[in-house]
Amino acid sequence: MHGDQPVELTPKGFELLSVFVENHGRLLEKDELMDKIWADSFVEESNLTFNIRQLRKILGDDAHSPKYIKTVRRHGYRFIADVKQISETDKSKAEENNRTDYEIASPVAQSLETVSLEQPAALPKTKKFFAPAMLAVITFLGALGIGSWYIRSRGFESNAHVLSASFSSEKLSTNGKVVFAVLTPDGKNVVYTHGAIADKQSIRLRHLDDGSSVEIIPPSDEIYYGLALSPDGETIYFVRRPRLTGDLMSIYRVSARGGIPQKIVTDTEGWISISPDGARISFVRCPYGEEEFCSLWIADTADGKNERKLVSRPRPFRIGDNRISPDGKRVAFAVGQSANASNEFSLAEIDLESGTERELTGEKFFNIKNIAWLPDKSGLLMTASRVPNKNFRIWQVSAANGETVPLTNDSESYSILNLDKDATKLVSSQVKQDFRVRLLSLENPSVSRVLADGSTVFYAPDGKIYFTSIMSGNDEIWSINADGSGQRQLTNNAADEGVPIVSADNNSIFFVSNKTGAAQIWRMNDDGSNQTQLTEKEGGSPFFVTPDGEWVYYRHSLTSKLWRVSTKGGGEHLVLDKVKYRFSFSHDGSQVAYSERQGEERILTIAALPDGQIVKTFPLAIPKAILHSVVWMPDRKNLAYITSDRELENNILWLQSLDGGTPQQIASLGNEELGGSGLSVSPDGKTFAVAQGRWLHDAVLFKGLR
């Protein structure tokens, strides 16, 4: 109670409060609390911190000046409010005085002592928490063993067979080329796309009983982005666009027996869902404007008519996967942003008739990739990741109370999510990155040498190479000598760390990390010690540290503009008001190079700092190509850059003289995707380091998740 008003507590919040009161004054380690509250579940520590934050909010408590729950750094929590045991005599006196400070919630509790909280005197009377009413909460401890189990079991109660059956999984592919897959309603077949990004792609159907496959749509030069089936399994809906044309994605429908696809909706993203009666389709459009970054729509499945916008979000928030509910009255959707590597994605729904929007859970995630309604409407499943854990797990979300619990706890990352009609089977996909750092000589660039597994790379002034790799299970920073010797891991924690750059004296490494909950710039010694956070608010990915070691320049994670921060700490400052994915600095830091669009073509631009005045421009070797990354050569006379085509393939390394003239092709780098930092050059200018690779997608079938 708060005054005379009841205050709602989630089941987990109630259990947590009960444990605190029972153990008042005693330090409760985080592991102990996790064991008490989530004894039979695999959950992350962030679940505990979220529930404590919610409990503090209900109690009107302040983490910085606590009256109830005190944080003991690196250990746990202590309940510090006074707790008073009230005897049966005291209860009788209270009754005689016509006080209703407590009530017996269950006959089971009548023989137990009742416990109340003494309100701290400093709390204002107008906001005084109704402490005597807490007697009812604490009295209920006698029934907690039964009650909390009942609430929890009701919250996650579902008749979905795949959730109650013993764990059983089967790989449906192993070549890394199955990006999308859906089960037919009867659970007997899987419809899937086949082909990597650089391949011709097709749609196939696999019979689960014998493993045989038939082709529904033959391979073509089009890229698929989404897949769905009608409730009767007779119609396939998919999202695709032609390669290399610049055309937008469109939604098509085709008979499951094959035939000519019919285009029904244009200008969409890949997330689509079909209503239970098969009459409507929900989808996402992203115009990427300031006021409307992404929006959720619905239309007729027959011909795409009767389009209606349901909800939209401003920049930088995007709308992702969406699913129409089993009763056809609501659409659940993932919404948020993950550019700054923090937990800002949520799960919401909108009522199709009233337009009312509400959150399905108060818990936030780094990203939510796919969602699926359970047929009995007891909740949803989703594939999601929560900082600091990198892996995307399969989660269950309760419709009763919004509580979430992970169903997978392995080292795999899952993406797509689709159930058959009766939820006896679940098809998902396992996603892995396969990126490598390789070196190529300027003298013989046609021959390259793989140095290590890694997705970003940086040559230090002393010739040592620093890179980001998932070799230890998540993104960490490593160092290695150019000859492959002396490989060493420099960071090691559950957060993601990457994009290392090194100071001119080789003593300091600057990198991005989200271990405080969002992407911030950090500094550490060259051996990984003395890690210190530099940015507090406006973080991002570092590009350059000035020769005097005073400043680090970086791309802002949300705005993609150029910022800088002092290496000694302090305020973050906007430097260049231009939205760019990548900037490259001259050796003295006086100039910066980046890509600009000029009509239908792109140019290489060099601007002076700090005023941003244009110094020079160069036409690209391939005018309509995408400029992926640029580096200044050590001779101070040339720039090197990589161009890619519209699909980020056909990567070519070029050398451009600062005096002008035609660029010289150095090497063809093939079709593999370029890593985050793309390109780096050795101090002597004789060797280039490139991070390249691909993402592998393989379908997996679950018949049980318990």
pLDDT tens digits along 448-498: 999 999 999 999 999 999 999 999 888 999 999 999 999 999 999 888 899
Nearest-angstrom CA–CA distance, 19 and 29: 12
Residue 530, by phi and psi: left (phi above 0), alpha (psi -120 to 50) or beta? left
* pLDDT bracket for residue 677 (50, 70, 90): confident
**Domain boundaries, given as residue ranges, for the chain:** 11-155, 167-433+697-704, 444-579, 587-671
pLDDT of 117 strictly over 90: no
Q: What is the pLDDT of residues 161-178, one digit of tens each?
A: 999 999 999 999 999 999
Q: How would you classify the pairing of strands 379-385 and 393-398? A: antiparallel
Residue 60 pLDDT class (50, 70, 90 cuts): confident
Residue 124 has pLDDT above 60, yes or no: no
Residue 588 pLDDT: 94
In this prediction, residues 231-257 reach a mean pLDDT of 93
Architecture, CATH, for domain 11-155:
Orthogonal Bundle (1.10)
pLDDT in the model for residue 155: 62
Q: Nearest CA to 456 among 146, 211, 141, 680?
A: 680
Cβ-Cβ contacts under 8 Å for 337 (sequence gap 6 or more):
316, 317, 318, 344, 345, 558
Amino acid at 427: V
Domains 11-155 and 167-433+697-704 share a fold: no
Please count the other Cβ atoms lying within 10 Å of the Cβ belonging to residue 318: 20
pLDDT, tens only, 131-162: 444 444 444 444 434 343 343 445 677 889 99
- Give me the mean pLDDT over the 85-109 stretch: 44
For the cut 80, the answer to whether the pLDDT of residue 635 exceeds it is: yes
Between these two residues, 74 and 207, which has the higher pLDDT value? 207
Grade residue 24 by pLDDT with cuts at 50, 70 and 90: confident
Q: What is the per-residue pLDDT for 92? A: 52
CB 620 within 8 A of CB 603: yes
Q: Regarding predicted confidence, which is higher, 244 or 585?
A: 585
| Closest C-alpha to 562, from 552, 548, 577, 551 | 577
pLDDT in tens, 29-41: 887 888 788 765 5
Which pLDDT score, from 0 to 100, does residue 90 have? Answer: 54
Check residue 684 and give left, alpha or beta (phi > 0: left; psi -120 to 50: alpha).
alpha
Domain 167-433+697-704 annotated CATH 2.40.50.100: no
pLDDT at position 686: 96
Confidence band of 105 (pLDDT split at 50, 70, 90): very low
CATH topology for 444-579 is Neuraminidase (2.120.10)
> What is the percent of the chain with per-residue pLDDT over 90, rounded to a whole number?
67
**Residue of 88 and 635 predicted with greater confidence:** 635
pLDDT digits (tens, 9 = 90+) for 498-541: 999 999 999 999 999 998 889 999 999 999 999 999 999 889 99
